[in-house]
Chains A and B, each alone.
Chain A
Amino acid sequence: MSKIFYGIWIYSILSLILVFLYGYYTGIFEPKLFDYNLSLWAALIVNVILAIFSVISLKGPKLLPILGIIVTPISTYLFYASWTESNYMYLAGFIVIPVILLSVATIMRFYQKETRREVIPQRTVSTQPQTVGRENIRTHY
């Protein structure tokens, strides 16, 4: 969980940096590389980072890594199209993606922490012998 959380956090920071570059140094994305503006390559690098974090986090809960993999090409396209066509609706979509991902990641991380905190005191406080769970039986003896 922590890998994908920090992955999304880094992705959000990089997205924010891209938006600031777009706003204050618009011409920075003008040079072309393999027939495409740097706007495509910059967005692609940021999204590849998210994709890598998503893939390495696939062992844990699946929701966020799968969401991360799905939004990667969409986010890249949105930033590229926004810069080349000067259409800010695309840019709005590009910003909304990290907002949603980060909100979901934060909520999920909180939910996970809360459940852990609830489980741990039950083990220590419990005085009654329990028939279910090998761990509890061992603690009782």
Chain B
Amino acid sequence: MSQTSLQKSLMWEKTQRLSKIIITMVLLGICLVSTVNAIGVGPMELPIDVEKGAETSFYKQIKVWNSLERPVHVKASISGSIAPFVTLEPEEFDLAAGPGMSSEKPSPSQYVKVIFSIPRGIAESQYSGVITFTESPSQGGNLATAVALDVVIKLNIGSMAKAEFPLYITALTVILTIVLISSIVLVMVRRF
């Protein structure tokens, strides 16, 4: 084999290796871009401690934003042992096109209310769950993405809290006591 043909084959091999590396990098880049550039959520964890009956209905907020340069549709769902006590508001929403990752402009965002309704009779324990925000496959373009982000919720239910009556309950209790006393006193007075 002549030296020129050997050099040619070596060059061909190098070119092939280089093209493989470039293709791999391009594919990797596409994958990374599609996952990193989608939606963002915060905070990623919600640790909550409550006494039984003290705070039975309350809510926390999670911010969801879009960094992509195209509008996205987001669905929120809850799973885990906490699911019966939590409702999400809204469960589905659209986010407008963002300024892109490189831009410093604020991304369009939406606050999702995580509403807790904890009955007083619930067992004293730790409940956990995950809120998953899924970006629906977007139409148009060359690539369809379905990205999901999770927010972990840890709910600690402590011992029973003493009921704190609002003013109208105290007022009604006083009225009942007065009616009770006055009715029996009046009846006794009339009897004699």
In contact, B173 and A83 (Cβ under 8 angstroms):
no
Chain B residues with CB below 8 A from A9, complex form: 180, 183-184
Q: How many inter-chain residue pairs (CB < 8 Å) link A and B?
A: 86
In contact, A84 and B179 (Cβ under 8 angstroms):
no
Instruction: Give the distance to chain B from A44, nearest Cβ to Cβ, in Å.
Output: 16
Confirm or deny: B192 has a beta carbon within 8 angstroms of a beta carbon on chain A. no
In contact, A15 and B186 (Cβ under 8 angstroms):
no
The total of chain A residues at the interface (CB under 8 A) is 34
Do A86 and B163 contact each other (CB < 8 Å), given the known contacts A16-B173, A19-B173, A99-B175?
Answer: yes
Instruction: Give the distance to chain B from A16, nearest Cβ to Cβ, in Å.
Output: 6
Per-residue CB proximity of B53-75 to A under 8 Å, as 1/0?
10011000000000000000000
Of residues 53 through 104 on chain B, the ones whose CB sits less than 8 Å from some CB of chain A are 53, 56-57
Instruction: Give the distance to chain A from B157, nearest Cβ to Cβ, in Å.
Output: 12
Of B165, B180, B190, which contacts A23 at CB under 8 A?
B165
Chain B residues with CB below 8 A from A12, complex form: 176, 179-180
Instruction: Give the distance to chain B from A131, nearest Cβ to Cβ, in Å.
Output: 34
The total of chain B residues at the interface (CB under 8 A) is 28
Do A92 and B169 contact each other (CB < 8 Å), given the known contacts A26-B161, A30-B121, A83-B120?
Answer: yes
Of residues 74 through 102 on chain A, the ones whose CB sits less than 8 Å from some CB of chain B are 83-86, 88, 91-92, 95-96, 98-99, 102
Nearest residue (CB) in B for A12 is B180
A-B contacts, 17 listed (Cβ < 8 Å)? A9-B180, A23-B162, A32-B121, A83-B120, A83-B121, A86-B53, A86-B56, A86-B119, A88-B169, A91-B165, A99-B175, A99-B179, A103-B179, A106-B182, A106-B186, A110-B190, A113-B190
Return the 5 tightest CB-CB contacts between A and B, nearest first.
A27-B160, A86-B56, A106-B183, A95-B172, A26-B163
Interface, chain A (partner B; CB < 8 A) = 5, 9, 12-13, 15-16, 19-20, 22-24, 26-27, 30, 32, 37, 83-86, 88, 91-92, 95-96, 98-99, 102-103, 105-106, 109-110, 113
Interface, chain B (partner A; CB < 8 A) = 53, 56-57, 119-121, 159-163, 165-166, 168-169, 172-173, 175-177, 179-180, 182-184, 186-187, 190
